[in-house]
Amino acid sequence: MLNIAVLVSGGGTNLQALIDAQNRSEIPGGRIAVVISSKADAYALERAKKAGIPTETLIRKEYSSQEEYDAALLQILDCYQIGLIVLAGFMTIISDNVIRHYENKIINVHPSLIPSFCGEGFYGLRVHRAVLEKGVKLTGATVHFVNEVCDGGPIILQKAVEVLEGDTPEILQRRVMEQAEWKLLPKAVALFCEGKITVHNGKTKIREDSI
């Protein structure tokens, strides 16, 4: 059973999707061992506590340097013997040091079809606002491994979502969450925990019997 750490900063809707999937026995190879928040008042912490999952709070400004913060994060991850890190709306920088320590063991969900509307500055409602401003007809979500390039790691799963007439950034955000993010993330976590994802030459391969 692989231990999973979910890193959060806000409401924790993607965390809740993982908790719900776990409760439905849809992540048979792993379990959420700890939820780590970058904010003491994040509602995601309440979701974790209701589910009986241990929580930790790690606030960047309480550390004098990135190195000290990295050491504290790595210590927590080591303490819980973490085999997979899931970034679920985590708004604090993950340093190259941590990424190298957990190479191809950190996954993130991004609210667009990478390589569109991703990279520096594209997060949350900013993504959906940009989608609407551009006038594209399809958007979606992507689950990918995290590497040193922002939103540049190997893609695991993607799902398209239609953009509708009259959409606002908030309406579109909700549709992308419901139709893509909350489905893709638990599936990607399950595939990883069952050892069904491999990375070769910067690309992922998923066992054919898993799709």
**Alpha-carbon gap, residue 159 to 20, rounded angstroms:** 20
Structure tokens at 68: 């000290």
**Alpha-carbon gap, residue 187 to 30, rounded angstroms:** 12
**Alpha-carbon gap, residue 211 to 208, rounded angstroms:** 6
**Alpha-carbon gap, residue 70 to 62, rounded angstroms:** 12
> At what angle are helices 125-134 and 169-176 packed, to 10 degrees?
110
* Annotated active-site residue in 110, 128, 144, 200: 110
Catalytic residue check, 128:
no
8 Å CB contact between 117 and 130: yes
The catalytic residue positions are: 110
